[in-house]
Structure formats: C-alpha cells, structure tokens
Chains A and B, each alone.
Chain A
Amino acid sequence: MTIEFETPKPIAQTQFVLKTVAENMMRPQSREMDENEHEIPFGYIEFMHNAMRSIGGGSLAPKEEKPKEGDEKKEKRPPIAYQNLAAQIEMLSWGDVGFYLVTPGGGLGAAAVQAAGTPEQRAKFLARFNEEKPTFAAMCMTEAGAGSDTSAIRTRAVLDEAANEWVINGEKIFVTAGEKSFNPREQFGKGFIVVWANIDPTAGRAGMRAFVVEAGTPGVKVVGLERKLGIRASDTATISLVDVRVPFENILGSPTVEKTTTGFKGAMATFDATRPLVAASGIGVARAALEFLKEKLAEGGVEIRYGLPRNKLTAVEKEVIDMEIQLRSAWLMVLKAVWMADNKKPNALESSMSKVRAGDVVTKITQKAVEIMGPLGYSREFLLEKWFRDAKITDIYEGTGQINRLVVARQILGYSGKELR
C-alpha cells in the first residue's frame, strides 16, 4: 500500500463519458424539469439505461469485479468499484442531481438488497436492472413519526404461517423514486420497494427487517407526491401499506429475532455504503456552482490570486479559495470512505465523516456562490439558484448532519447509542 491520488484510468474514462452526458442531456433540460415538478426525463432515463446495459451492468451499483481469465497482471488490480461509483455519481450530480436521482438501476432499494440480502436474494432481485427496460427500486424507511430515529418505525410485519407470507401494515413517507418503482410507466420495467418493518415490536431494533415488495402488490398505494425545495425531477412518494402480503422469502436477512440488533445493523450497513455516495452527489452540485462562479468572475475580470497570504486577498478571493479547500477536502474524504469499502475495511466512521463534511460544505458553497453572484445568483435565468436549492438535501437524507455527527462522536468516544443520544 501507499499514499496515492492518481485517478484510475477506468474512472477517468467514465468521468469523461458522463461529463458529455451531463452537458448534452442534463444541463439543457435542468431548468425545465425544475419548473415542471414530477415530469419524467424519459430521454435521459432511456439513454442511461442503454448505456449502462451496454457496459455490462444495468444499474448504478458497484460492479462485481472479476479478473479476466488469462490476464494475470490484472488479477492483482485493487478493487475500485465503489470509487468508480462515487465518481460517476459526482459527475452525474454535477450535471443535474435531480436527473441523477432518476437514473434507473435500483438506487437505495438495490443498495438495501445488496447490503442486507443473501447471495440468492441478490441474484433474484437485482437481475432485473440489467433487462430491456429501465427499472427502478426504492427504499422505505422513513415514517411520519420516525425519521432520524429509525427504530421508532411503526410499520409492522406479521408472519402468516399457514400461507407462509408476511403481512405488512403501515405508512411510509419521503420515498425517493417510490412512484417509478411501484407504479412503473409502460416505458419502465417492473421494480420493487424495500419496506422496513418490525417483526417483533417487543424486541425494538432487533425486530427491524426489510422486505422486498414487488411493484403492483395489492394493498400498496402511492398516496401522494411531495412538492419540494429542490431535486424536483426526483419523485418523493408517500406510500401506504394495508394488509400487504409478500412471500416468506422476500424478507432480507434472517427471519428469526435474536436478542441482538441484527435487523438494525442491516439498515446501518446500507447507510455505511450509501452515505459517501450521497456526499459524492452533493459535492457534484457544489462543484457545478463553484465552477459557474469562477467562470463568471473570470468573465468579469476578477482573477483569483492563489499563493498570496490571507491578509492580501480580497474578500471574494478569500471566499473562492475557502470554497476550493472545502470542496476538495470533502471529496477526498468521500474517496477515502469508498476506498475503504472497496478494500473491505470497516468504514462507518469515515462514511459518516464524509457525509457531515459534504453536508456542511455543499450548502455553504452554494449559498456563498449565490451571494457573491448577487442578482445573477438569485435569478432563475441561471442554474445557480437551483443548485443552491438542490444542494441542501445533502445534509438531510441518509442521516441528517446531526445524526452523522452522533455517529462520528460515538466512534471517537467509544460510546454506545445509549451513552450518547
């Protein structure tokens, strides 16, 4: 091992390709999708699906890396799937984070299956993303009464032993891509939603389990779509579940409740994997804003004099330099977290650190950029104001900034959730 920051070739290549996609398919439509909430960018979805299929995996998920036969040199190549994924997400979000969130391929739903499912379940549920039509999946954890405190979910799953089926009741809110996953348009394949429910409320967290609920399952209804501050191209659904029956084998992980926190750990394992990816997404938005800012400043003849001591810089130069420091260091924290994931090192601390940092810096950078650009920043003629609205979600979903601070603090203090709430 060594300390190195050279972008691996495969990553540089995908970045290059996705930048073209971002410039040609996302940016020109960004404004339109923002102003027409709940419209679907079919062209982009189609294109991304075909592109991802043609390179062998129909989803934005870390690819299984198998060394090619007879290629001995490549066998020793270190794994970079998560690193590549983070770089892809960053670039797509640089294009438009709303679009990125409607990239077909399973999103958080697939991530949950990946993290909490058995190899058989992965094979069974994830194959569809590689088929002919673009397909979506979503994850339903949050409820009206349970956001940060996921252990407070009320959705209940009861085993009907006679039928060998689970019966699920509850209501989920804020389900990203819930509509596209559960009520696929004719252009889309049959997706699923992963529903977190408790199988034994007396066991608390230990009873939490995730269930794969196929699109169209009776008893499930998308009862509403949110209207939001930003990421408007992404649908955020409210989903009610009334006596929903799913096959026994759709439970992810173990169906028995030991007095441990396995179920909860499944949820947390999902977050370890996805938090740096959310951070990466936010960083893409902030990079777009910072690049726009620098471009406009340059057009206006404002030069950033790198190398000067602080007290010789103008206020604007100071801001821009700070933004660069913040953004680059946030990105490096993401890279480290996903590098650890690729190398099978436990990364709960690094994941949460990258998420806190990204949540902070992307909101600051986009806010400051709007401020510095004045009327140009506030005007809807440019995308900057939209990026400011889009960036804010980074600090909220997949664990708010506060929740991730708790995770970090517990790790460095060696505290349990009880000792530090």
Chain B
Amino acid sequence: MYSFEPNEEQQMLVDAVGKYAQNDLRPAAHDAEESRELPKKLISKGWELGFLQASIPEAYGGFGDRSAVTGALAMEEFAFGDLAGALAVLTPSLFAMPILLGGSEEQKQEYLPKVIEGDWTPYTAALIEYVFDFDPTALKTTATADGGDYVLSGEKAFVPFAKDAEAMIVYASLDGKTQGFIVPKGAAGLSVADEREKLMGLNALPMYRVKLDGVKVPAAKRLGGEAGHDFELILASMRIASASAAVGVAKASLEYATNYAKEREAFGVKIAQKQAIAFMLAEMAIEIEAMRLLTWEAAWKLDTGKEDAAQAAYLAFTGAADMAMMVTDRGVQILGGHGYIREHPVELWMRNGRGFAMLTGLAIV
C-alpha cells in the first residue's frame, strides 16, 4: 500500500520532539550560535525525549526498534528547532547507530547500554576529512592490517564533541573500502585539536579536527569485528538524517518568511500579496514537500531492505541539499535587508542550509 501518515507512536514522537524544538531549541538558537555554546541542560532535555533510546532494542538497554522512517520524522522536527542543537542532542547516535547497524554482538553488548543509560554522554564519530573533494566512500585516512590489529593514520575534521568523547568511531579506508573502527578516549596516537573548528554556521556545536598517528585498533574493535560491516547501510542512514534535517531547516525558514510576509507592508499591501513573494513561498513549500516525500521513501526502502535503498538515500540527500539552499536563500530574500541582519534567524538557516552538501557524517538516524 501507499500511505503517507505516521503511525500513532511516530506521531507521539513527532509531537514531543516538535514541542521541544519549538519551546527549547529555537529560543536558545541565536545566543548559542553567537556565544558558541549550547547549554548542557538544553542538550539533556532533548536527550531525555528518548529518541535514540527508543531506537535500540531491550536486549541492549533500550526500549524499541530502529526505524529509518521514524528517524526521518524525528530528525526533521529536531532540525526545525535548531540544527546545531539537534546535532548536539543526537551526537551519541553517531556512535551507537553504526554499532547497532553494523557492530558485532560483543560490540553491541559492550557499548550500546553504556551510551544510552543515564544522562547524555559524548560519544561521537569521525567521518569528514578536510579536503575539497571529500567522499565518504574514498577516504584519505587509512586503516592497515598489522598482525591482529589495524593501524589508523590520517586526519579527520568536523568531529562533534571530539574533545570530551568517551569513544568514537573513526572511518578509514581499508583496502579502498570505508570501514569503521572503535577508538576509545586517550588512545595512543589519537590527538584532538585544542581549538574548535571555525565554520560558516553550526557554531554552537563544538567540532574538532582529529589526528590519527598510527592509532592501533584491535581486530575486535573493527566495526562488525573481523568480518567488518556494510558501510553502505550506515552511509544511507546518514544521508537520510541529513536529508531530513535539510527538510526541517527549510521548513523553519518557510514558516518564518511566511509569517513575516503576512505582516510586512510595502506599497500599501502586505508583501505576501505580491506574486513575486507569494510564488516564492509556494515554490518553497512544494520543494520541501517533494524532498520530504523522497526522503520518506528512501527511509522506507531502508527499513524494508529494498535493493535500491542506498541509491534512494543518495538521491534524497542530494536533492534535499539543493532544496535547503534554495529555500533558505529565499527565506533571507523575502525578509529583504532585515533577512541579512542576525537578529532574524533566516540568515543562520541560510548558513546552515549551505552546509548540507557536506553534512554527511554529522547525523545518522
């Protein structure tokens, strides 16, 4: 069947996350960006909504099953509030979700309960690299087999909460194929930059450069153990998260611009009454809906194990990244000069909107 309505459980989650996004994330977003600081309380509150916890089966300390569709729905709502806040709340997923999807039984037993029990604790992952042609399937960081171990060498960028992370998954190229490796805090050869990344947006999210200088990882800590894992599945889940986040940010911009256009007067009418503005709003709404549906379908394909799920996720991610740029740009445009001023959030969304082209690796559902 075709069906376009979240089930009851999903709707409850969407409502809860939506409330948090509206009442907590959004009001804090401006100051967080300017001060480069997210209040810990804010993150904890988002964590307590239990989104990750509900994605992990009871056997590993959680209370539900992972669904990419549910993840897409939640991610859109989180990002609608504030992208940096959303990514911060969900950073532990960067570590837990790949273990759930590709980890060995021992890895699941060892790490999943630790990550999800109690308060939000920084666990993270390092995928992005500081090169213009970054490609998650052709990494420059390498993993080399060395007896029973692997040795990691290279440099990672934009690693959220790397400084404090209890452990991280480092993605590296093993014989040309991307594989994840679990690296604990303080591992020999692992160094996290003192200075945080300075970026166009997402300044509230602490991100770091991470160096791997011959970091030794035992074979048992390769994601999935000796046999490794299917990175395509993880990448697809990351792409769905990014696409959903793009939809959420774009939705925020559309809503703000719509309300503004209904208030702002020029030439004796509300600017929304001018087709030049109204048509932009209509197109924004259409693009958002188009990419939302494409993302849902990709997520559903992932959940149901369709053969072309990875390709669908790639298409959704690629389309949503373009959409986010188009929509957030217009959000600024509709506010005119005021859109350019940092008092209004549309310019932040535009900065965040541009990020989606490279956001793979900062979120996973």
Contacts and interface: CB of A to CB of B under 8 A. Distances in A.
B294 A329 contact: yes
Contacts, number: 140
Contact of B4 (A3, A8, A415): A3
Contacts of A324: 315
Nearest to B316: A325
Interface stretch (B44-52, B191-199, B274-282, B331-339): B274-282
B254 to A, nearest CB: 8
Contact of A3 (B69, B279, B294): B69
Interface string A1-25: 1111111100000000000000000
Given A329-B293, A329-B294, A415-B273, A3 B5 contact: yes
A408 B258 CA distance: 13
B247 to A, nearest CB: 12
A6 B2 contact: yes
Interface stretch (B111-119, B128-136, B153-161, B201-209): B128-136
Residue among A3, A310, A312, A325 with most chain B CB within 10 A:
A3
Contacts of B301: 5
B35 interface: no
B65 interface: no
Given A324-B315, A412-B282, A419 B273 contact: yes
Contacts of B10: 3
Given A1-B5, A309-B133, A353-B286, A420 B278 contact: yes
Contacts of A410: 278
Nearest to A7: B2
Interface of B is mostly: helix
A353 B135 contact: no
A311 B278 CA distance: 33
B349 interface: no
A325 B318 contact: yes
Interface centre among B7, B262, B286 (most CB of A within 10 A): B286
A415 B322 CA distance: 29
B297 interface: yes
A250 B314 CA distance: 54
Contact of A333 (B69, B272, B281, B290): B290
Contacts of B319: 322, 325-326, 329
B15 interface: no
Given A308-B135, A325-B318, A415-B272, A408 B282 contact: yes
B289 interface: yes
Contact of B311 (A306, A309, A339): A306
Interface string B173-212: 0000000000000000000000000000000000000000
Contacts of B73: 3
B3 A4 contact: yes
B1 interface: yes
A405 B275 CA distance: 9
Contact of A325 (B135, B282, B294): B294
A413 B258 contact: yes
B2 A339 contact: yes
A298 interface: no
Interface residues of A, number: 46
A228 interface: no
A219 B350 CA distance: 61
A397 B112 CA distance: 56
B282 A339 contact: no
A185 to B, nearest CB: 39
Contact of A339 (B3, B262, B316): B3
Nearest to B315: A325
B312 to A, nearest CB: 8
Contacts of B262: 413
A386 B134 CA distance: 41
Among B132, B281, B294, B304, chain A packs the most CB atoms within 10 A around the CB of B294
Contacts of A3: 3-7, 10, 69, 73, 296, 300
A2 B278 contact: no
B286 A357 contact: yes
A4 B289 contact: no
A7 B258 CA distance: 35
25 contacts: A2-B3, A3-B6, A5-B301, A8-B1, A308-B137, A310-B318, A311-B133, A324-B315, A325-B294, A328-B315, A329-B293, A329-B294, A330-B290, A333-B286, A336-B293, A339-B4, A357-B286, A357-B290, A405-B275, A409-B275, A409-B281, A409-B282, A413-B262, A415-B273, A420-B278
The 9 A-B pairs with the shortest beta carbon distances in the complex, nearest first, are A1-B5, A325-B319, A329-B290, A409-B278, A332-B293, A408-B282, A409-B282, A329-B294, A4-B3
Interface of B: 1-7, 10, 69, 73, 132-135, 137, 258, 261-262, 272-273, 275, 278-279, 281-283, 285-286, 289-291, 293-294, 296-297, 300-301, 304, 310-311, 314-316, 318-319, 322, 357
Given A5-B301, A326-B319, A339-B2, 13 more contacts: A2-B3, A2-B5, A306-B315, A308-B135, A310-B318, A322-B322, A328-B294, A353-B289, A356-B282, A357-B286, A405-B283, A408-B285, A420-B273
